[in-house]
Amino acid sequence: MPDAPSANVPDRNLALELVRVTEAAAMAGGRWVGRGDKNRADGAAVEAMRALISTVEMRGTVVIGEGEKDNAPMLFNGELVGDGTGPEVDVAVDPIDGTTLTAKGMPNAIAVMAVSDRGSMYDPSAVFYMDKLVAGPEVADVVDIRLPAAENVRRIAKAKKQSTEDVTVVMLDRPRHEKLAQEVRDSGARIKLISDGDVAGAISAARETTGIDLLLGVGGTPEGIITACAIKCLGGVIQGRLWPQDDDERQKAIDAGHDLDKVLTTDDLVTSDNCFFVGTGITDGELLQGVRYSRGRATTNSIVMRSKSGTVRVIESHHVLDRTAGLPQGTA
């Protein structure tokens, strides 16, 4: 008989426990879709996520939390989560990736969470943003963040045996990307601009069925590390370079020992080969459907991945909301 899994190593049973956490966050945040208050939405999702994560059989430490970067309700860095039993793990959370998307009722808001062996997630030491490149397995060996955008587009087109006009690049719609966007357009490729939510955008770039070939540009470092856990499960590549916002942050990074010219690879961002990624849709998007509510029930659409097996599950769950006595609404 095979050996039983070690209590100190995350096993496959953890995946389905984790998806309950993102489902809870999505249902709580989903009540605020289109209501114009991103902080209330985020607060509801954080509260639900914290309530459910405390029931998961793990000894988790939040390594990547959202509050410090966004000045929003926290699952803060260093917070201990889980029920105090089971494996010791690093935890990265984003109760709502796309708070503005949620507040405006726009596509691609998701609740996400990643878990890996303790000590395996990268610590950005307060460098809150990162220049990123994400692509799928078919082109992982040909792209390089140090190359011009046009060259990466050309290499992707060649690897996929298509023209550059067939390549689609996703990036955040920010003034800092105006030059990058023009370089991509000049290459002949198409661009999909997103207002928020670069975790969903990055995963779309790594999956074959989304019509997205590449993610480029500067986004949050926490989101980059969460994405790296997903890439470990899907294959593909994420490359990043820390992107300090000002001289003070740059000096803080240097003092902490960071090489700002170094290209961080998937293995730099998460060293473990036993990690999990879970996400639940809040609003409809290319990756997942959003939460549906009807007559005391809710339907959620989630993706669950485990790197050790390479298994990717898409789960539709049906929840009876009046059976959640003792928990925040929508946490069953």
Residues in the annotated binding site for Mn(2+): 42, 66, 94, 97, 223
**Are the CB atoms for 99 and 41 separated by under 8 Å?**
yes
Q: Minimal CA–CA distance to 127: which of 265, 248, 267?
A: 248
Beta-bridge mates of residue 116: 90, 275
**Are the CB atoms for 57 and 85 separated by under 8 Å?**
yes
CA-based end-to-end distance of the chain: 35
Could you give the angle at the alpha carbon of 311 between the alpha carbons of 308 and 317, nearest 5°? 130
Q: Which residues are annotated as a binding site?
A: 42, 66, 94, 97-99, 129, 174-176, 196-198, 220, 223
Neighbours of 126 (CB within 10 A): 15
Helix residue ranges per DSSP H, the chain: 13-30, 38-53, 67-70, 99-104, 149-159, 178-186, 198-206, 221-234, 247-255, 266-269
Structure tokens at 115: 């878990």
Q: Which residues are annotated as a binding site for substrate?
A: 97-99, 129, 174-176, 196-198, 220
Q: 138: burial class by Cβ within 10 Å (0-12, 13-18, 19+)?
A: middle
